[in-house]
Structure 1
Amino acid sequence: MKKRTLAALVPAATVAGIALQDFVQKDHALRRNFPLIARFRYMLEAIGPELRQYIITSNDAERPFSRDQRRWVYTSAKKENNYFAFGTDNDTENSSYPIIKQATFSDVVPASPIHGHDVELPGAKVLGGPRARRHAFRPASVVNVSAMSFGSLSPQAIEAINAGAKLAGFWHNTGEGGLSDHHRQGGDLVFQIGTGYFGCRDENGNFDLGRLVDVVGSAPVRAIEIKLSQGAKPGLGGHLPGAKVNAEIARIRGVEQGKDIASPSRHTAFRNTDEMLDVVEQIADATGLPVGIKSAVGELGFWHELAGRMADGQRGVDFITVDGGEGGTGAAPLVFADNVSFPFRVGFAQVYGLFAHAGLSDRVTWIGSGKLGLPANAIVAFALGVDLVNVAREAMLAIGCIQAQRCHTDHCPTGVATQNAWLARGLDPQQKSHRLAGYVLTLRRDLLKVSEAAGVRHPAMLGPNDVEILDGDRRHRTLAEVYGYHDGWGVPGPEIVRDIDVYMSRTSCST
């Protein structure tokens, strides 16, 4: 009896102790005024995202990716049935959304059955071709994985992405964190140079061209991307908490273990557009690789000057990756995530328009990023003029991310965005590589089928008049009208169209 009484008293004493602690502490007024009860509020607040994700929100309500969008990525990655039944559940009477206009008649012969996954869909342009780079090439896939560094992602996640790149024939951007052993699973790479010059810096943290040549020569690097800014935090620079900077990351990046890494907001190797183009040409001459830039879009003065300095054909970037302000896998202050830089469609249209007006759009390979890993968003991007799309968060979803939004805490529950060994062990790189490959192959298939429905062989051959934006059931305008495109903008020139038409016709016949 005594033991049972004591056993009953222990929980009661514990609860009373917690209540007393709440009553006497002064940090939280709510706990002081409502001992114990206030703790339930904090608990509900902590699991609020999960409650909304699984119980409260509708299929299309949640952001950044709705339940329907996540379901499509997950089922596509697993090569399961990703169809939706009983018609759209979008609010067609009141919401704004794109409509792709199908062609009633077309000479295009379908390249593959709708249920097939092994779809070849290469880039429309030869990357580095207009500037005759020694190692110019046609990208094997119009869908590729965007920049996500080892450090922000776990070793297992990087291995899964690169092995998936090998399986499905797309490229894997290293991000600004350098090139690790985990990137060497056989997939093609794009090496990104950030403002911290990780992997290609000297002992003082300055850009070192010799080290860059060595590192890109040690792996299947196909192109080099200079990051000027990114959608998550444009103009702010990168940040990796010291908790994530283990011995391996410190070695690869050339920094001190356990200390926060804060990349500058701007480059030190060049300080203006003219100097940047000099560096681009130096890198291209030394490596033979196509060299491009990545940037979110804010003020347009830089883009005006870049187009002007490229007009004579003497110097220039081979590709431009435009990142939307709505994108971003990294953590950022709320004001940067919500209010700095234009969303993809607005930003891209402004930059592309400058180059198209100057007659330079065909001399650049255009890459879009910022939530473009969903078929409808990608089709709009292609209709606006992109040649390739890069995906980041969608790739994370394909390898297991559940949108827990814990990326900045090192407590990612699925082992994707963490350096916690116990959490990361839950991610099996071999299995997840097949999931990522399945997602990319399915997205390529859907892009091809939608293009064929619209009467063209390749999504890059779509133009801004092939897609309209509906404003409920009251008004609709073409992309050309919405974004001020002139005739001929948004589609490759005649030579590129003929080139890709012949290539896709050959692929169709072989299929």
Structure 2
Amino acid sequence: MQTNYLLEIISSFWFWLVFLLVAVIIRDVFIQKSHTITHNFPIVGHIRYWIERIGPEIRQYIVANNREELPFNRQERSWIYASSKNENNLQGFGSDQDFNSPGYIFIKNAMMGYNPPKDHPFRSNPGVIPAAKIIGAYHERKRPFRPYSVVNISGMSYGSLSAKAVESLNKGAFLAGCFHNTGEGSLSPYHQMGADIVLNIGTAYFGVRDLDGKFSMEKLVEKVQANPRLRAIELKLSQGAKPGKGGMLPAAKVNKEIADIRHIPIGKDAFSPAFHSEFSNIPEMVDFIEKMAEATGLPVGIKSAIGKLEQWEELALYMKKTGKGPDFITIDGGEGGTGAAPHAFADHVSMPFTFAFAKVYQIFQRQELTEHIFFIASGKLGFPEKALMAFAMGADSVNIAREAMMSIGCIQAQKCHTNHCPTGIATSNKWLQAGIDVTLKSERYYLYHYTLIKEIGEITHACGYEHPCQLTMDDIEFSMGDNNRTIALSKSLGYHKDPVKYGSFHDLLTCSHLGGEGARKRLTFAPQV
């Protein structure tokens, strides 16, 4: 009896399977007209499209080797994943890198490095390195700010990232003591979980605008007064993924919560223009910066991808002449990519980080302004060797974005622009977000941040310095290929960075303007790494 019942089930399964396949064939051949492949090869054509859809995942785990994949290769992702889970992130049997590949980074260790004394703060908490400079000190802002960490979270908006992803990162930033940039989508409730905040203001002035899209100083002041963790304002001119390109949040995504956060109408497309409406030249931009700084008391900086340099020259000359201007400059490399962008913008518009930073830094160096500006570096720098290269070039801190996303579970599926992110990080889909455990993911970001800072510090000590700001451009060399030659960063890029005034680690940690209050007040959690 049971055997007959089982046979009926099997027969029924094959019947419905054949029925489904025949239906697909009829549809593909006689009804649909949009896909030639499925018309000519029904069934097989669908398999082809399915394999194409999951192509990035297949290449990650089956096809590509450990070092060849972009944007981040498997070795880089594995280091982030292991670090964020407090697992073994070491490698055995030597390096599998090609040391002769052009541009390969060599960090020159000292014969006898810097050995921190027993009472040195880094020994008790190697996950903390404060910035050497204070943002806003030169222009005497009312509320200057020394970041508690030399590594911080770059701008990623709520809306681009899911609520749970933003909340996880902010809680992780609170544990680490680093600041969290809001992205141009403005300050959401999920950015307010205790971490220091940098408010990003883009071309649409989301969150600090009226319904007609005009900037509102009154709303900016209200926001600053209502959020004591808001420590600085970043005026976004452009970003590495799409400089000179606006954006659009479709009406379907503009629910009441998004509308309230961004100060936009519910159910209507939200456009971000390509350029700012409040200014159109350097004097007007500097005047706008000064007005925001005066009204809020906060340091104000600018963020930009780098292309033509004429206006940067003009900005440096104007700052030298007037003593006014941005307190910090965030230089975003063209290889940045959390924002979805047309491929020509993502691939060909703006310079990669190394060239971009070097050119802009030298412009301000010629005007003797580097001491007064806090330089933030951004563009795939969430690894110890790349961060140290940025510090050697003159950066005062590093912003990370995609590396932070990977620490909370991003698998580089490259579905950010589709709203179908399989990990729930870059989607508004509630079902996909449901898999994010905020408590667990926030700890994973913290562990990644802790490991990154720890290794930055340890390599700094191996080079003979106490703080990464002390690295020089002669401490880093590039491989010139298989000719057994290397070239110092100073010779490759054509300059030496200006020395950063530095007293001691203890001075940084006792500064009255030091951020990271939450991390400093709680019991230090130092994992066994």
TM-score range for the pair, normalised by the shorter chain length: over 0.9
Residues 1:155 and 2:163 are matched in the alignment: yes
Shift in CA distance, 344/500, structure 1 to aligned 2, threshold 3 Å: farther
Which sections of structure 2, spanning at least 5 residues, go unmatched? 512-525
Which of 51, 54, 66 is the equivalent residue of 2:58?
Answer: 51
Partner of 1:173: 181
1:502, distance to aligned residue in structure 2 (A): 6.1
**Secondary structure of 1:205 counterpart:** coil
Distance in 1 (alpha carbons) for counterparts of 2:24 and 2:128: 62
Residues 316 and 364, structure 2, Cα contact 8 Å, conserved in 1: yes
CA contact 2:121–2:505 (8 Å) conserved in 1: no
User: What amino acid sits opposite 1:22 in the alignment?
Assistant: D
Deviation (angstroms), 1:423: 1.1
CA distance in 2, matches of 1:117, 1:358: 38
State the shift of 1:182 in Å.
Answer: 1.3
1:275 corresponds to 2:284 = yes
Within 5 Å, which residues of 2 pair with 1:290-369? 290-369=299-378
- Kindly indicate whether residue 489 of structure 2 is the aligned counterpart of residue 483 of structure 1: no
Aligned match of 1:450: 459
Q: Do the aligned residues in 2 keep the contact of 1:191 with 1:216 (CA within 8 Å)? A: no
Matched residue type, 1:14: L
Q: 1:408-436 CA distances to partner (integer Å, 9 max, x unpaired)?
A: 11111111111111111211111111111
Report the alpha carbon displacement of residue 26 of structure 1 after superposing the two structures with TM: 2.7
Post-superposition offset of 1:461 = 1.1
Alignment of 1:110-149 (within 5 A): 118-149=126-157
SS of residue paired to 2:301: strand
Aligned amino acid, residue 123 of structure 1 = A
Which amino acid counterpart does residue 185 of structure 2 have in structure 1? G
1:462/1:491 contact within 8 Å kept = no
Aligned counterpart in structure 1 of residue 429 of structure 2, from 420, 423, 428: 420
Alignment-derived partner of residue 395 in structure 1: 404
Other structure's SS at 1:455 match: coil
For 2:143 and 2:134, locate their aligned partners in 1 and report how far apart those are by CA, in whole Å: 10
Q: Provide the C-alpha distance between the structure 2 equivalents of 1:502 and 1:418, rounded to a whole number of angstroms.
A: 43
- CA shift at 1:501, angstroms? 5.9
Using the TM superposition, give the Cα deviation of residue 259 of structure 1 relative to its aligned residue in structure 2, in angstroms. 3.4
> Does residue 234 of structure 2 align to residue 230 of structure 1?
no
How far apart are the structure 2 equivalents of 1:114 and 1:229? 36
d(CA) in 2 for partners of 1:283, 1:445: 36
Q: Is residue 218 from structure 1 mapped to residue 219 from structure 2 by the alignment?
A: no
What do the CA deviations read for 1:318-363 (whole angstroms, capped 9, x no partner)?
A: 0000000001201100001100000001001000011111111111
- Do the aligned partners of residues 117 and 314 (structure 1) sit closer, same or farther apart at CA in structure 2, a change above 3 Å counting? closer
Letter paired with 1:304: E
Aligned position for 1:251:
260
Whether the aligned pair in 2 keeps the contact of 1:383 and 1:491 (CA below 8 Å) is no
The farther-off stretch of 204-213 and 27-36 is 27-36
Q: 2:386 aligns with which of 377, 383, 387?
A: 377
Q: Decide whether the 8 Å contact of 2:121 with 2:506 is kept in 1.
A: no
Show the counterpart of 2:194.
186
CA distance in 1, matches of 2:235, 2:456: 28
CA distance in 1, matches of 2:75, 2:498: 30
The 3-state SS of whatever aligns with 1:362 is coil
Shift of 1:376: 1.3
Counterpart among 488, 503, 506 of residue 507 in structure 2: 503
- Partner of residue 42, structure 1: 49
Match of 2:84 in 1: 77
Distance in 2, Cα, partners of 1:99 & 1:3: 68
What amino acid does structure 2 have at the position aligned with 1:143?
Answer: V
Say if 1:244 and 1:410, in contact at 8 Å, map to a contact too: no
What amino acid is the match of 2:216?
A: D
1-structure distance, mates of 2:414, 2:381: 19
| TM-superposition CA deviations, 1:59-91 (whole Å, max 9, x none) | 111111111111111111122221111111112
Q: Is the Cα–Cα contact under 8 Å of residues 110 and 452 in structure 1 kept in the other structure?
A: no
* Aligned equivalent of 2:521: none
Q: Deviations over 1:132-172 (max 9, x none)?
A: 11111211110000000111111111111111111110000
Structure 2 CA distance, aligned partners of 1:188 and 1:506?
18
Which residue identity is paired with 2:89?
A: N
Structure 1: state its 5+ residue gaps: none
Deviations 1:357-387 (A, max 9, x none): 1111111000001111111111111111100
In structure 1, the partner of 2:523 is none
The residue number in structure 2 matching 1:492 is 499
Q: Write out per-residue CA displacement over residues 175-232 of structure 1, whole angstroms, 9 at most, x where no aligned residue.
A: 1111111111111100111111011001311111110011111111000000000001
| Residue 500 of structure 1, CA deviation | 4.4
| C-alpha distance in structure 2 between counterparts of 1:57 and 1:115, whole Å | 39
Q: Equivalent residue for 1:23?
A: 29
Counterparts of 1:9 and 1:138, CA distance in 2: 70
Secondary structure in structure 2 of the residue aligned to 1:407 = coil
Task: Decide whether aligned partners of structure 1 residues 104 and 423 sit closer, same or farther in structure 2, where only a CA change above 3 A counts.
Answer: same
Could you tell me which residue of structure 2 aligns to residue 109 of structure 1?
Answer: 116
CA RMSD of aligned residues (A): 2.2
Q: Which letter maps to 2:339?
A: G
Note the C-alpha offset of 1:40.
1.6
Alpha-carbon distance change, 124 to 49 in structure 1, aligned in 2, over 3 angstroms: same
What is the alpha-carbon distance in structure 2 between the residues aligned to residue 113 and residue 276 of structure 1?
41
Once the two structures are TM-superposed, the CA of residue 291 in structure 1 deviates from its matched residue by 0.5
Asked if 2 retains the 8 angstrom alpha-carbon contact of 1:461 and 1:491, the reply is: no
Q: How many residues align?
A: 502
